[in-house]
Amino acid sequence: MSASAPTSNDIAHQALDTLRTALPPQRPLGLHEPEFGERERALVLDCLDSGWVSSAGPQVERFEHLLCEHTGMAHAVAVVNGTAALHLGLQLAGVRPGDEVLLPALTFVGTANPVVHCGAVPHFVDCEADSLGVDPAALERHLDAIVEWRGDTCHNRHSGRPLRALLVVHVLGHVADMDALAAIAERYRLALIEDAAEALGSRRDGRHAGSWGQLAALSFNGNKILTTGGGGALLTDDAELAARARHLSTTAKQPHPWAFEHDAVAFNYRLPNLNAALGCAQLEQLQQRLTAKRRLYERYARAFADLAGAQLHPEPPGCHSNHWLPLLLLPNREARDALLEAASAEGIGLRPFWTPLHRLPMFTDCPHAPLPVTEDLFARGVCLPGSARLGAA
C-alpha cells in the first residue's frame, strides 16, 4: 500500500510545527513589533523638556541628516507618514488630475490611495515571482499593447488618459529590478517614483532602495523596520525637489520673522520633532536590526529547507534585503488558509499578502494588466513574524 499524498491540512500542520522550532515560545507573537529602549526614552524626554514637540526642532533636521547618511541620498524630507510622502512625491513628479499612474496590484493600499488623492487613476500591473516587485518584461509587453503616443506623452489608448508615472514598490523589503524599470520609464517618458516604505536598509547591486527614482517614499509606521510612531520621508538627489517638498509640507509659508505669507495651497505634512526624536534613536540601531533580521531569515531558511510542502521565498538575485517580513509559499490557497487559521488559533501572527488592489471595491473600475503572478503569490503567500528581536543572538 502506498502512502497517499499529503493533504493541504497536513502541509499546513507540518509548516506550523516547523515554525514553532524557529520561534520562541512567547504568545501572542505579533507579525512585526516596535522595539524601544533607554535611548528612545531619553530623546523623547529631551523634546518635552525643551518644548520642541511640534513640526520644528533640532531632531527633525538630525533625523533627515541620519536618513541621508544611511541611504546615501542627498536629501531627505521628514513627513507625517508614508502615504503623505507619496502624495507629495506624486504631485512633485507632475501627476495631475486625469492622469494614470502605473503601480503594482500586489502592494499595501497606501500605495494607491495617494494616486487617487492627486485626482489620478491607478493602473495596476503584475509583479515578478523573484523580486516580488513590478515585472519589467510584463510591463513592457503591456505598454506595447496599450500605448498610443500623442506628441511626446504616451496615453492609454483605451481610456485616452495620459500615462504619467511609474510607481514601483519594494515589496517586503526586496528591491525591484530597478535598472530595467528605470529604462522602461525613460523609454515611455514616465516619471519614476519608488515606494520604499518597507525597504529602509535594502540594497540592490550596492544601491539603496529609493535611489533610482526622481523621488522615493519611506514609512516609519509602527510595523516597519524602524518606527517614529507615525512618520515617513521623501528621498531625492534633486535639491530643488527637496526644497519644494519642504515648502509644500509646511503650508507653503514663506520664511519671515513675523508675517504669514503663503504662496500655494499646500499641506501640513511635516514630521513633529517628538516623532523625529524617536526616529533618531531608532536609526542609531539600524545596523544591529538589519543583522538580527538577517539572522532570523537564515534560521527560517534552515528550518524550512527540508519541508517539501512549503518554501521560504529566497532573497532575489543581486539584492541585499532588509528582510522586513520573510515570506513562506504554500502549494495552494487551501494550505495557506489552513496555516493562517491554525497559527492564529495559537497566537502566532501570520498574515497573507494584501488583497490585490484591483479587487478592492474602490479600484475595481481601474485599468489593469493581466495579473497571473500577483494572483498566484496572493493565493500561496504567508508573511512570517519578522521582528528584529526574534533574531537577536
Cell digits of residue 297: 531569515
DSSP sequence for 38-103: HHHHHHHHHHHHHT--SS-SHHHHHHHHHHHHHH--SEEEEES-HHHHHHHHHHHTT--TT-EEEE
Nearest to 193 by CA among 85, 324, 113, 317: 85
Residue 194 within binding range of ligand PLP, rule CB under 6 A? no
Which residue in the set 47, 182, 197, 278 belongs to the binding site for ligand PLP (CB under 6 A)? Answer: 197
Stretch that binds ligand PLP, among 20-28, 35-43, 77-85, 262-270 (CB under 6 A): 77-85
Residue 83 within binding range of ligand PLP, rule CB under 6 A? yes
CB of 3 to ligand PLP, least distance (A): 42
Nearest to 87 by CA among 59, 55, 127, 114: 114
Give the nearer residue to ligand PLP in terms of CB position, either 11 or 78. Answer: 78
Which residue in the set 107, 202, 211, 374 belongs to the binding site for ligand PLP (CB under 6 A)? Answer: 107
Q: Is the dihedral of CA 179, 185, 186, 191 positive or negative?
A: negative
Stretch that binds ligand PLP, among 94-102, 191-199, 244-252, 293-301 (CB under 6 A): 191-199
- Sheet arrangement for strand 203-204: 207-208, 203-204, 319-320
Nearest to 169 by CA among 214, 127, 205: 127
Residue 195 within binding range of ligand PLP, rule CB under 6 A? yes
Which residue in the set 12, 23, 90, 169 belongs to the binding site for ligand PLP (CB under 6 A)? Answer: 169
Grouping H, G, I as helix, E, B as strand and the rest as coil, residue 124 is strand
Give the nearer residue to ligand PLP in terms of CB position, either 155 or 208. Answer: 208
Which residue in the set 14, 18, 55, 111 belongs to the binding site for ligand PLP (CB under 6 A)? Answer: 111
CB of 374 to ligand PLP, least distance (A): 14
Give the nearer residue to ligand PLP in terms of CB position, either 232 or 326. Answer: 232
Residue 82 within binding range of ligand PLP, rule CB under 6 A? yes
Half-sphere exposure of residue 326, counting CA atoms within 13 Å on the CB side?
Answer: 29
CA dist., res. 236 & res. 80, Å (int) = 17
Give the nearer residue to ligand PLP in terms of CB position, either 55 or 107. Answer: 107
Which residue in the set 34, 173, 210, 232 belongs to the binding site for ligand PLP (CB under 6 A)? Answer: 232
Asked if 194 and 130 touch (Cβ cutoff 8 Å), the reply is no
In the complex, the residues that contact ligand PLP under the rule CB under 6 A are 81-83, 107-108, 110-111, 169, 195, 197-198, 219, 221, 232
